[in-house]
Every structure is written in C-alpha cells, then in structure tokens.
Amino acid sequence: MTDGAITLSGDGKIDYSNCSFAAMLKMPRDQVIGSAMDRLVQAADLPKYETLLHQGRAGNSKGEIRLQTGDGSICPSISQ
C-alpha cells in the first residue's frame, strides 16, 4: 500500500501507522504511533476532525482534514 494509513483508538490515539503515513507527516513512524491525532490536526479543522471521529465510532466516516507535519508544513488527509 502506498497510501498513508492509520488506525485510531476510541480516544483518538494512533494505534497503527504505516510507513507512508509517517512519511507524509515527515516524522519517524515510532513517534507517530501513540500520538494523539488531535495534536496533528490543524486548529481550524479540529471541529471537522471531532465530527469524523464521532461518526467513525458509530461505524462510518469520510472527510478531509489538514494535518501539521513535523517540519511545520500542512498535509491534506482524507479520512475513510
């Protein structure tokens, strides 16, 4: 898989990250795993992220949020 992929726990922590997602964030994979996802989400997108997380807990969510990378740039991300 070349797309970035993660698995979140119910409280929004990253339980799994593939190498592609870590590369997108310009961070080592071992630093990504265990991180709180909301700390990576751009502040303006936090309400959208919370909605996606809530919908995901109910079974299904899809949307786009912007993430802050390790070097301070912004990376768009699609949630499915």
Which parts of the chain register pLDDT below 70? 1, 79-80
Q: What is the pLDDT of residues 50-61, one digit of tens each?
A: 998 888 888 878
**Is 49 in contact with 41 (CB distance < 8 Å)?**
yes
SS (H, E, C) the chain: CCCCCEEECCCCEEEEECHHHHHHHCCCHHHHCCCEHHHCECHHHHHHHHHHHHHHHHCCCCEEEEEECCCCCEEEEEEC
**Is 76 in contact with 66 (CB distance < 8 Å)?**
yes
Domains and CATH numbers, the chain: 6-79 (3.30.450.20)
The pLDDT value given to residue 80: 60
Query: Does pTM top 0.75 for this prediction?
Result: yes
